[in-house]
Amino acid sequence: MRRLLFVTALVALSVSHVRTQDTRTRVDVSKLGPQVGEHVPGFQLNDQAGKSQTLQSIMGRRGAMLVFVRSADW
Amino acid sequence: MELQSRVNELRTNGIGLAVISYDSQQILADFARRQQITYPLLSDVGSATITRYGILNTVVEDALGPNGMDPAVLADLQRYVTGTQASERLRGIPFPGTFMLDRQGRVTARFFEDYYWERNTVSNIMLRVGDARTPVNAVQASTEHLDLKAYPTDSSASPGTRFSLVVDVTPKRGMHVYAPGATGYRVVVLNIETQPHVRTMPIQYPASEIYYFKPLNERVPVYQKPFTLITEVIPEATADARKSLAGKTELTVNGTLEYQACDDKICYNPVSLPLSWKVALRENVRAAPRPAQPTR
């Protein structure tokens, strides 16, 4: 009986394992967010000095480099 | 930060710059003061903009959720988020990356890395989008067939920074060298010596032109105008790599430019020209990936 329980537990474990891997979508960072040729969404965010900035306000005469980072804090 | 040292270069090129993170304005103000940052650091508390851009780091949610111990989730966590374990403060971070935009806000190029600790340098991005660049530590050489200038895009690099080794080649008058797709001739190639913990990416070739050689009624892809060969290099940021690179102040990458040149009468012997690139190695300030420690 104990043996049977153990086998059942093992099967349950492997099933739950397969389920999460199956339902999990692979990350492909190249497909995330606006692609080449597409417009990026506008925004209105405060900068470090409390000044409101938008896509237009950060633009140079030929365009802009918009960098997303994890955090400045760590 | 590397960006601050490039602000003027970007401005000269007419490129505005802003950095977005989920940090509060207070944290950004402190950071800007400490690092003497003059470009806008934008505060996206709550990550609404990050989410609207479609680049919210979903791996964090997975890792903090019921499947947090799933090996696939843990592997993604190590790759896309952190070398240690998931924590609440990671909620809301983006997949780090850079968009190059035109004046209308259209994406002209984008740079997202497969490993969170890797970053393109600004110079490398400018090179990739075909913008002006300032050669650093350039080495010049001439053979009887061509002149060349070899340089790295950056004078210094940290573990995880992606920069490029560049060779500008100017064939001498009447000369051509062979481009990929040419058969029966030696195609110009940049061979980079492998070394531990330094990853080298495949060479990026520019478009070639077809050369018509009448005596043989032959059409071959060649370069006869000035052209540039680029190969990207990444000093790895793994624990092993850091150990091996520790104490080194300079990274030297050696290689050779191999080519065969012909003019309209003679095909010369193949040439192998030794080249060397040097960049200073900076200590990386960012958190380094450490061996997996799944403690949850």
CATH architecture for residues B2-128: 3-Layer(aba) Sandwich (3.40)
Nearest CB to B49: which of A45, A70, A72? A45
Thinking of the domain B139-281, which architecture would CATH place it in? Sandwich (2.60)
pLDDT recorded at residue B245:
81
**pTM to 2 decimal places:** 0.70
Would an 8 Å CB–CB cutoff place A24 in contact with chain B?
Answer: yes
Q: Does A47 touch chain B (CB under 8 A)?
A: yes
pLDDT at residue B52, as a whole number: 97
- pLDDT per residue, tens digit, chain A (74 aa), is 455 444 444 444 444 444 444 566 778 888 999 999 999 999 999 999 999 999 999 999 999 999 999 888 76
Q: Which residues of A touch B3 (CB under 8 A)?
A: 67
- With beta carbons less than 8 A apart as the criterion, state whether B99 and B106 touch: no
Domain boundaries, chain B: 2-128, 139-281
**In A, which residues are within 8 Å of B55 by CB distance?**
32-33, 68
For B69, which residue in chain A has the nearest alpha carbon?
Answer: A17
Residues of B in contact with A62 (CB under 8 A): 13-15, 102-103
CA distance B45 to B120: 25
Q: Alpha-carbon distance B141 to B97, whole Å?
A: 36
Nearest CB to A68; choose among B94, B100, B106: B94
- Predicted complex ipTM: 0.73
Check if the beta carbon of residue B115 is closer than 8 Å to that of residue B82.
Answer: no
Q: Which of A18, A66, A73, A74 to mutate to test the interface with B (most CBs of B within 10 A)?
A: A66
* pLDDT score for B113: 79
Look at residue B131 in the predicted model and tell me its pLDDT: 65
Instruction: Encode chain B (296 residues) as per-residue pLDDT tens digits.
Output: 578 878 888 888 899 999 999 999 999 999 999 888 899 999 999 999 999 999 999 888 888 888 888 888 888 888 888 777 778 888 999 999 999 999 999 999 999 877 777 777 777 787 777 665 666 778 899 999 999 999 998 888 888 888 999 999 999 999 999 999 998 899 999 999 999 989 999 998 999 999 998 888 989 999 999 999 999 999 888 788 888 888 888 899 999 999 999 998 899 999 999 999 998 887 643 444 443 333 33
Residues from chain A that touch B122, judged by Cβ atoms under 8 A, are: 65
E strands, chain B, in order: 15-21, 41-43, 97-101, 107-112, 119-120, 139-142, 146-152, 156-157, 161-171, 176-178, 189-192, 198-200, 209-213, 218-223, 227-235, 250-259, 261-262, 271-281
- Cβ atoms of B174 and B264 within 8 Å: the answer is yes
